[in-house]
Amino acid sequence: MTDLFSPYTLKGVTIRNRIAMSPMTMYRATDGLMNDFHVMLLGSRAAGGFGLVFAEQLAISPEGRTSVNCGGIYDDAQIEGLSRVTAIIKDMGGVPAIQLGHTGRKGSEVKPWEGGAQLPPDHPNGWQVVGPSAIPYGGKYCYPVHALTREEIGAIHASYANAAKRALAAGFEWLEMHFAHGYLGASFFSPLANQRTDEYGGSLENRVRFHLEALDAVRAVWPERYPLTMRLGSDDLNEGGVQFDEAISAVGLMKAHGLDLADLSLGFNTDEMQTLPFADLGFMLTRAARLKQELGMPVATSWNLGLPALASKVIREGVIDLVMLGRPALSNPHWPVWAARELQQEDPFGLVPEDWAWWLRNFRAHPACIGWPVENNPVLPEFGSPG
């Protein structure tokens, strides 16, 4: 029976389990370069048992970053740092994955814990944000948006292809396109942001044209043996935005253009969402199960899947194929090992490198002192006061 710890093969890549660390923007880069922090963060998660380990969303151009502190893959000088990341992930038994993105009209920000404000185009750390139409997102995203021309769209697709070439040179073996969370791909898909009257706007087929051309550009240079996946903003939770029925149709079109797996998320093209499901366990699972059934293609999702019993259940029942974990991966670098112990797997320490596993399997002291939570706290001994 397939379970959370079963290997998973997609195209020519086999992951040791069904647990993936999601891409998360960490605001630790300078000039888009990966550094010691990223090697530590991503290598430790691979050492902790995650089968698939994503670096943060990497921008395909300087203007595609969230902030000047975010990672990029738009310059050959960035390959060296990325190669260090992929090397440590592989050495620790994981598969290195990359997410290519462009933040569109939601870029040019400061760090969120410093207020997260959008910077004006003339600020030293800001730039002119772009989108399908000249429509600001709203709220803190208040500065004018440049509506991309056809020629500029073509240049962005070329940037996707060039980034994919660099990803291959850096040693990544899994590539995801970020078309969610209000970023550029998501805004082309959503009527809330896309009010174009040319071949990139209006009908569903036109609004997904940006995605199909981006996929084609990447698929032309990304080897067939490596998965090409996509995180899609599949629902805006707003009657004027993307509806999930549209997402199913769009993914069907993308499948015909070389898409291997759909990683479903929300659109976040507006703050005016009619329902707020963010406290609900696994709230994307119903959508993911429906897409998998109707299109017959692999599906992944995230959002409140950090309970081992829930993650195990949805894999065991075939609801999704991969569990994507973001904040759980930040809070617990060894989440897979903890989950294996919680689920009473026979050899949970088999998920860590063999040299670590040997010491952990041969732990000869009190079982509660190994550093993992125990069901019942032991009674603490009494000690005499120092004389």
What pLDDT score does 375 carry?
66
What pLDDT score does 275 carry?
85
Residue 380 maps to a domain:
no
Instruction: Give CA 16 to chain center in angstroms.
Output: 18
Name the nearest CA neighbour of 264 among 225, 223, 294.
294
Q: How many CA atoms lie within 13 A of 114 on its CB side?
A: 8
Residue 171 maps to a domain:
yes
Give the integer Cα–Cα distance in Å for 105 and 270.
12
Give the integer Cα–Cα distance in Å for 145 and 147.
6
What pLDDT score does 66 carry?
97
What pLDDT score does 379 carry?
78
Give the integer Cα–Cα distance in Å for 128 and 290.
39
CATH number, position 52: 3.20.20.70
Is the Cβ–Cβ distance between 129 and 182 less than 8 Å? no
What's the token pair of residue 36? 């010691």
Residue 364 maps to a domain:
no
Say how many C-beta atoms besides its own lie within 10 A of residue 373's C-beta. 9
| Residues taking part in catalysis | 183
Give how many domains the chain has, as a whole number.
1
What's the token pair of residue 266? 């929300």
Q: Which residue range(s) make up the domain with 179? A: 8-330
What's the token pair of residue 343? 């689920």
What's the token pair of residue 355? 């040299």
Residue 342 maps to a domain:
no
Residue 177 falls in which region: left (phi positive, over 0), alpha (psi -120 to 50) or beta: beta
Residue 360 maps to a domain:
no
Residue 376 maps to a domain:
no
Helix (H) or strand (E) holding 380: none
244-255 vs 209-219: helix axis angle to the nearest 10?
A: 30
Residue 218 maps to a domain:
yes
Residue 207 maps to a domain:
yes
What pLDDT score does 149 carry?
98
Is the Cβ–Cβ distance between 298 and 255 less than 8 Å? no
Per-residue pLDDT of the chain (387 residues; tens, 9 = 90+): 789 999 999 999 999 999 999 999 999 999 999 999 999 999 999 999 999 999 999 999 999 999 999 999 999 999 999 999 999 999 999 999 999 999 999 999 999 999 999 999 999 999 999 999 999 999 999 999 999 999 999 999 999 999 999 999 999 999 999 999 999 999 999 999 999 999 999 999 999 999 999 999 999 999 999 999 999 999 999 999 999 999 999 999 999 999 999 999 999 999 999 888 888 898 899 999 999 999 999 999 999 999 999 999 999 999 999 999 999 999 999 999 999 989 999 899 999 999 989 998 888 787 778 777 666 677 777 776 665
Q: Over the range 217-236, which residues count as b (16 or more CB within 10 Å of their CB) and which as e?
A: bbbeebeeebbbbbbbbbbb
What's the token pair of residue 303? 């959002």
Name the nearest CA neighbour of 51 among 94, 14, 89.
94
Is the Cβ–Cβ distance between 208 and 254 less than 8 Å? yes
Say how many C-beta atoms besides its own lie within 10 A of residue 155's C-beta. 12
Bridge-based pairing state of the strands 13-15 and 8-10: antiparallel
What pLDDT score does 374 carry?
67
Distances in Å between the alpha carbon of 298 and those of 168, 252, 303, 367, 382? 23, 12, 18, 40, 56
What pLDDT score does 21 carry?
98
Distances in Å between the alpha carbon of 155 and those of 45, 158, 349? 35, 5, 47
